[in-house]
């Protein structure tokens, strides 16, 4: 059960990080570079968290 | 026997030092000194110090016989005077032929230093016995790996040279920079050139070496990393980087909110 929970969370986080990268592009288009950088950092951090969840899901599967 | 080995070793070291000094001095003169004389940038204490810095680093690397200094610090030191005076790397200083010559000099230096500082003539064997496996030649996997190494060597020459030549000599890029940054074309071209070098180093590190790394066997770093991963996996808890990523995301969100609130 925990394995599926971690898998769903990992997919949601990694997929959700795409939203932040899309926002980054929008900020860049508006020439708001500082905001773009901050949102990009959030996106990378969310991907890292998703990656860690995926790792935990793998551990649960073993 | 020991004296003969010592003499051979000394001769190789002296040869490697002379090669590194000659090629390194050529790089220093062609990238820093000649352009500095051409644009009249050799004046002022700071600029003269910056121009002499690469040579001092080269000599330090030779004295210490350090590959890290010769292959890492010296090329970085060459960029210091260029960062102070971006005109040194501008398009009107480097014609296409001169660019090709300087690129050949840099490649010769990097290859010369990396090859001659690690290559040593082995001492003459006391006796020779042919092994049966030696008659079959190198294994297929080693021949394949050698082909990959030669491919990487070719890419190490073609990619950065093509990227830098594109940035510096494409008229569309020069026109665009002229429109966007009037009066700062040389500075922006130099920044783009440094960006191209950084991009290549990143691509090489992650895409090219990244493919080779999992194939290493008996590598102490890799074995340690794998052992640590197994231990981490057994605990079933998130690693420290998970908490760091959450904290980073929250800090960035807070900064964004504060920025919007203050604005």
Distance from CA of A52 to the nearest CA of B (A): 6
State the pTM of this model: 0.57
pLDDT per residue over B26-67, tens digit each? 999 988 888 888 888 777 888 888 889 999 999 999 888 888
Query: Looking up tokens 């001492």, which residue turns up?
Result: B123
Q: How far is the C-alpha of B12 from the C-alpha of B23, rounded, in Å?
A: 16
Mutate to test the interface with A, among B234, B249, B262 (most CBs of A within 10 A): B249
- Do the chains contact at A46 and B242, CB–CB below 8 Å? no
pLDDT per residue over B171-203, tens digit each? 888 888 888 888 777 778 878 888 888 888 888
* Residues B123/B8, Cβ–Cβ less than 8 Å: yes
Q: How far is the C-alpha of B49 from the C-alpha of B173, rounded, in Å?
A: 33
* Residues B189/B167, Cβ–Cβ less than 8 Å: yes
Q: What angle, rounded to 10 degrees, do the helices at B140-169 and B96-116 form?
A: 150
* Residues B54/B77, Cβ–Cβ less than 8 Å: yes
The tens place of each residue's pLDDT in chain A, 62 residues long, gives 777 888 898 999 999 988 999 898 888 888 888 888 999 999 999 999 998 888 888 777 65
Q: How far is the C-alpha of B9 from the C-alpha of B123, rounded, in Å?
A: 9
- Do the chains contact at B248 and A45, CB–CB below 8 Å? yes
* Residues B58/B25, Cβ–Cβ less than 8 Å: yes
Which value does ipTM take for this structure?
0.77
Residues of B in contact with A34 (CB under 8 A): 259
Question: What are the structure tokens assigned to B98, written together?
Answer: 């001169």
* Number of residues that this document lists for chain B: 263
Count CA within 13 A, CB hemisphere, residue B149: 6
- The reply to whether A28 touches chain B by the CB within 8 Å rule is no
Mutate to test the interface with B, among A3, A31, A55 (most CBs of B within 10 A): A55
Question: What are the structure tokens assigned to A43, written together?
Answer: 């996106």
Rg (CA), chain B: 25
Size of interface A-B (CB pairs under 8 A): 46
Distance from CA of B228 to the nearest CA of A (A): 14
Q: How far is the C-alpha of B58 from the C-alpha of B72, rounded, in Å?
A: 11
In sequence order, what are the residues at sequence separation of 6 or more whose Cβ sits closer than 8 angstroms to the Cβ of residue B75?
B106, B110
Say how many C-beta atoms besides its own lie within 10 A of residue B160's C-beta.
21
- The DSSP line for B143-206 is HHHHHHHHHHHHHHHHHHHHHHHHHHH-HHHHHHHHHHSTT-HHHHHHHHHHHHHHHHHHHIII
Q: What angle do CA B100, B60, B88 make, to 5 degrees?
A: 35
Q: Which residues of chain B have pLDDT under 70?
A: 1-9, 91-92, 119-122, 211, 213-222, 226, 230, 233, 263
- The reply to whether A45 touches chain B by the CB within 8 Å rule is yes
- The reply to whether B254 touches chain A by the CB within 8 Å rule is no
Question: What are the structure tokens assigned to B205, written together?
Answer: 């590190």
* Residue B102 confidence (pLDDT): 87
Q: How far is the C-alpha of B163 from the C-alpha of B110, rounded, in Å?
A: 18
- The DSSP line for A5-45 is HHHHHHHHHHHHHHHHHHHHHHHHHTT-HHHHHHHHHHHHH
Residues of B in contact with A58 (CB under 8 A): 233
* Residue B25 confidence (pLDDT): 93
In sequence order, what are the residues at sequence separation of 6 or more whose Cβ sits closer than 8 angstroms to the Cβ of residue B118?
B67
Scanning B201-240 for CB atoms below 8 A from A yields 233-234, 236-239
Distance from CA of A8 to the nearest CA of B (A): 16
Distance from CA of A29 to the nearest CA of B (A): 16
Mutate to test the interface with A, among B239, B247, B252, B259 (most CBs of A within 10 A): B252
- The reply to whether A34 touches chain B by the CB within 8 Å rule is yes
């Amino acid at each position: 059960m925990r394995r599926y929970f971690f898998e769903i969370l990992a997919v949601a986080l990694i997929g959700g990080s795409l939203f932040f990268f899309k926002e980054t592009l929008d900020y860049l288009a508006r020439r708001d570079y500082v905001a773009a950088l901050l949102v990009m950092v959030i996106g990378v951090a969310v991907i890292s968290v998703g990656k860690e969840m995926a790792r935990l899901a793998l551990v649960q599967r073993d | 026997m020991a004296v003969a080995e010592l003499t051979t070793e000394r001769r190789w070291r002296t040869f490697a030092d002379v090669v590194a000094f000659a090629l390194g001095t050529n790089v220093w003169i062609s990238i820093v000194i000649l352009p500095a004389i051409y644009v009249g940038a050799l004046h002022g204490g700071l600029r003269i110090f910056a121009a002499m810095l690469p040579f001092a680093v080269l000599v330090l690397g030779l004295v210490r016989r350090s590959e890290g200094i010769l292959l890492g610090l010296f090329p970085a030191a060459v960029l210091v005077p260029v960062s102070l005076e971006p005109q040194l790397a501008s398009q009107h200083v480097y014609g296409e032929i001169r660019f090709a010559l300087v690129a050949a000099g840099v490649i010769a230096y990097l290859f010369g230093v990396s090859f001659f500082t690690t290559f040593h003539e082995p001492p003459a064997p006391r006796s020779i016995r042919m092994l049966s496996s030696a008659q079959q030649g190198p294994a297929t996997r080693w021949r394949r790996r050698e082909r990959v190494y030669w491919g990487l060597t070719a890419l190490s020459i073609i990619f950065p040279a093509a990227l830098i030549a594109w940035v510096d000599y494409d008229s569309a890029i020069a026109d665009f920079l002229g429109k966007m940054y009037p009066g700062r074309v040389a500075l922006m071209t130099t920044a783009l050139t440094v960006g191209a070098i950084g991009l290549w180093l990143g691509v090489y590190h992650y895409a090219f070496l990244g493919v080779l790394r999992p194939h290493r066997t008996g590598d102490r770093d890799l074995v340690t990393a794998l052992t640590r991963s197994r231990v981490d996996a057994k605990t079933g808890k998130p690693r420290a980087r998970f908490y760091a990523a959450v904290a980073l995301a929250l800090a960035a969100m807070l900064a964004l909110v504060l920025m919007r609130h203050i604005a």
